[in-house]
Structure 1
Amino acid sequence: MKILLVTYWWLTSVGGIRTYMNQLAERLRTHGHEVDLMGTDLATNTVYVAGQERRFAKDTVLPLIRRNLAGAPLPALQACPQAMAIESDRYAFEMGAAVLGVNQYDLIHAQDPIAALCIRRILRRNIPLIVSFHGSLAREGYYDSRSVHPNLTWAEFRSGTYGKHYSSLEYLGAEAADLVLVSSGWIKGIIMESGIPEHKIRQVPYGVDVQAFLLQSAVEFPKPKPPGKRLIMYTGRVEYVKGVHILIEALGQLRQARSDWICWIIGDGTLLPQLQHRSMELGLNQDVEFLGRIDNIPSALKKADIYVQPSLQDTQPFSLTEAQLAGVACIAANATGMPEMIQEGVTGRLFAPENPGSLADGLNLLLNSSHERRHLGLKAKRWVAAHRTLDQMYQGTWKVYQELI
């Protein structure tokens, strides 16, 4: 079977969507299927299929699209630069997908609602179309806005043009697909709230390639852990929605109580300079190290004593799953899809979301007890091995594919 995995977002960026697409594609290919990955190259602003030379430059059509939108009777849209930018760009992506071709596939699996909507509009025959929701587009937009306007409420965002536009795209993307695939009950509830019926939604949790993880973790990470210090770790994008700023504030409070720890923040993103500056303001120069992007996360996790997932929104973060599989004691925000991954006091700890004091208290308790850290890490590792393998994810996803074939 010939399958297309497609995302409107950046296929070249590090993140959960790319990890999911690569893992699923690899497993599909081992079962004899032909799989293409389509997305956007952020560096060149082109739509492309991985491994193929043909590309569609969005910049060649964006001026025309913007002129047409500016001349249309859409005053609310035109008054909102963020919505205008997304609306223009999605038309350009749609044109790129049409030029590259989508009608030659037996099944198309979109990785976001914008891609699903675009693909449905350009299909010329009845090809099964599935869409995965790896998060809430509208809520991601909300937290992006909060990074600039910290006091903005969800009700205020949702009532504005930007929020309405993102919410509409979420609904239209889910409505355009034959089936909707989610990894958590939280995101399933969000989609149902928009008006999509439950019978159209299938839930398949994410999985991790255990064998590949173990092979990577067997490699010694070159950076040594300071002697006499417990290592706190975060891995992932350094963006507002990931809550790394909450972690920095919590570490500032923790530093007032004890100094027997160090924190490594592994990853890159737009918030990095701001967080480095804030870390200096809090006097954490010797306590927090920003290591940037690294190639072997499993190897680094072997050195960690505590892993923190402070996200404001996360459906089922791969980074948290990897830390659990590494046997690291984890503490995560009690928000969105993360409580579905952690049983409080059994497979990890939860803290009040967006509350640095609650996180600082949780870290302090974990630092106090090596026994609890070992207990939580062992239980989490067993849970992942039993419930979050790549084989389980593949089998569940293939079952959804078969419904439509």
Structure 2
Amino acid sequence: MPRVLFFNQTGLYGGAERSLYDLVTNYPGHCRVVLMQAGPLYDDLITAGVDTPVLGGGFQRATRRKWITLTIRLYSPIVVAIGLVRLSRGYDLIYANSMKAAVIAVLTKPFHRRKMVWHLRSLLIPEHFSPLARLVARWCGNWGADLVIANSDATARAYQSNGGKCLPVRAYNGFSIEKFRPEKRAELRAQLVVEHGLDPTHPIIGMIGRIGPWKGQALALLGLSMGTDWQLLVVGEALFESENFRQDFHESATRYTQTCNVFCLGHRDDIAEIMGGVDVVIHASTLPEPFGRVIVEAMLAGTPVIATNGGGVPEIVQNGVTGRLITPNSATALATAIEAALRETEQSRSMAVAARRYAEQHFALELTLPPVWQALRTMAAQSDGTENAPAVAAGAHESSIKG
């Protein structure tokens, strides 16, 4: 196996970082992780025995003196770039796990002279990125990356529509299915009721994931107001958002808590247990999602799922078979789907069983990781003559992860 230097900009957990942890801790060869910022991911990697240096202190430091903040933001990328070149010695590949990481890896490629893999986990569409950001992404893919891996077909299509010349290898996120125990749903529900003082006779709705302007928490609060006795558990934090957004969200959630049954639980490590304890999991992103980890986790937990129809979500959920898909940015559609899921219990139960089976067959780690390893071996084995041209593992879509 090639020696791989994984590179990510943050030590905070988002979906990309959870996937990175699974990649690194299961990698069958020698690897190392470079982060630009410490955090829970750093702590978990160290606990797992993974060498994880932190360079530059990240880009998120701020002080009351603007000139100090500006100096830090200008100085940190330089420190990271120098450190990345130094640490790349002895490695075959640099594996950029984010767009920021990819930019730095490409800019420093004349110095580190390593083949670069870019794991693209974002939809390069106007709703998510500015024209300049999409231009930079196109440059990274066409002139710097030797291999592009996309986390869904939707992500791959958006990459090519943005001017990407190569055909990305599609690699769905993988999951440890043994963490989820659908046979214990009644027991897990009872635990949630006791822990949070819920009414056991009223439905429990779960919304789990990073809180953000387009992640749909505000829409969920509005949809909740259309129900009569629903209890909403909001799990997650606004990790990468501004302080103003965090304050506005918590004020809004507090107002709903006083009039409706809303419980904001913040960050939790027992996601599998919460997923299994709620009656329905909702995914209400107002913009297209590249993938949708929360949806797969709900399916593995055996919990009925309602998700926004867009981006990579239809690759996970088949409407009316493994879950319910709704029109984006519609509180009415969300409320209607929740009512149907709670009213049509037999149909919801059968869809949840089918969803669990589908997730096991397509998203288990033991199925999703080997094709990634093969793509890395292929890339490392390529002759030096192909190093400066974007490349794809042989038979990209045929060898891309099927599940």
TM-score of the two chains, using structure 2 as the length reference: 0.78
2:400 alignment counterpart: none
Distance in 2 separating the partners of 1:273 and 1:125: 42
Q: Deviations over 1:246-290 (max 9, x none)?
A: 1111112x23xx22x211011111545423433454576441110
2:318 alignment counterpart: 343
Contact 2:118 2:148 in 1 (8 A): yes
Contact 1:327 1:380 in 2 (8 A): yes
- Residue of structure 1 aligned with 2:104, choices 107, 118, 128: 118
Once the two structures are TM-superposed, the CA of residue 378 in structure 1 deviates from its matched residue by: 0.8
Residues 238 and 402 of structure 1: is their aligned pair in 2 closer, same or farther, counting only changes over 3 Å? same
Distance in 1 separating the partners of 2:158 and 2:74: 22
User: Which segments of 5 or more consecutive residues in structure 1 lack a partner in the other structure?
Assistant: 64-81, 143-162
Q: Residues 55-134 of structure 1: matches in 2 within 5 Å?
A: 55-57=54-56, 90-91=77-78, 93-99=80-86, 101-123=87-109, 124=111, 126-134=113-121
Q: How many pairs were matched up?
A: 352
2:66 alignment counterpart: none
Q: Percent identity?
A: 19
1:354 alignment counterpart: 329
Once the two structures are TM-superposed, the CA of residue 401 in structure 1 deviates from its matched residue by: 0.9
Query: What one-letter code is carried by the residue in structure 1 that aligns with 2:213?
Result: Y
Query: What one-letter code is carried by the residue in structure 2 that aligns with 1:172?
Result: W
Query: What one-letter code is carried by the residue in structure 1 that aligns with 2:150?
Result: V
Once the two structures are TM-superposed, the CA of residue 382 in structure 1 deviates from its matched residue by: 0.5
Query: What one-letter code is carried by the residue in structure 2 that aligns with 1:226?
Result: D
2:235 alignment counterpart: 266
Alignment pair present for 1:294 and 2:268: yes
Q: Residues 155-166 of structure 1: matches in 2 within 5 Å?
A: 163-166=130-133
2:343 alignment counterpart: 368
Residues 168 and 88 of structure 1: is their aligned pair in 2 closer, same or farther, counting only changes over 3 Å? farther
Alignment pair present for 1:323 and 2:298: yes
Alignment pair present for 1:228 and 2:228: no
Q: Deviations over 1:211-235 (max 9, x none)?
A: 24459x8995853252101111011
User: Relative CO higher for 1 or 2, CA cutoff 8 Å, sep ≥ 6?
Assistant: 2
2:150 alignment counterpart: 182
Distance in 2 separating the partners of 1:292 and 1:281: 17
Q: Deviations over 1:75-119 (max 9, x none)?
A: xxxxxxx9x9988765553234235x2132122211123312322
User: Which segments of 5 or more consecutive residues in structure 2 lack a partner in the other structure?
Assistant: 63-69, 381-403
Query: What one-letter code is carried by the residue in structure 1 that aligns with 2:207?
Result: Y
Once the two structures are TM-superposed, the CA of residue 236 in structure 1 deviates from its matched residue by: 0.8
Distance in 2 separating the partners of 1:205 and 1:6: 19
Query: What one-letter code is carried by the residue in structure 1 that aligns with 2:21?
Result: N
Contact 1:107 1:127 in 2 (8 A): yes
Query: What one-letter code is carried by the residue in structure 1 that aligns with 2:362?
Result: H
Q: Aligned with 1:57: secondary structure?
A: coil
Distance in 2 separating the partners of 1:206 and 1:59: 25
Q: Aligned with 1:41: secondary structure?
A: coil
Distance in 1 separating the partners of 2:57 and 2:256: 43
Once the two structures are TM-superposed, the CA of residue 42 in structure 1 deviates from its matched residue by: 5.9
Q: Residues 27-66 of structure 1: matches in 2 within 5 Å?
A: 27-28=26-27, 31=28, 33-41=29-37, 55-57=54-56
Q: Deviations over 1:355-382 (max 9, x none)?
A: 1111111111112121122112111101
Contact 1:263 1:287 in 2 (8 A): yes
Contact 1:342 1:350 in 2 (8 A): yes
1:3 alignment counterpart: 4
Q: Relative to structure 2, which stretch is displaced further, 323-332 or 166-175? A: 166-175
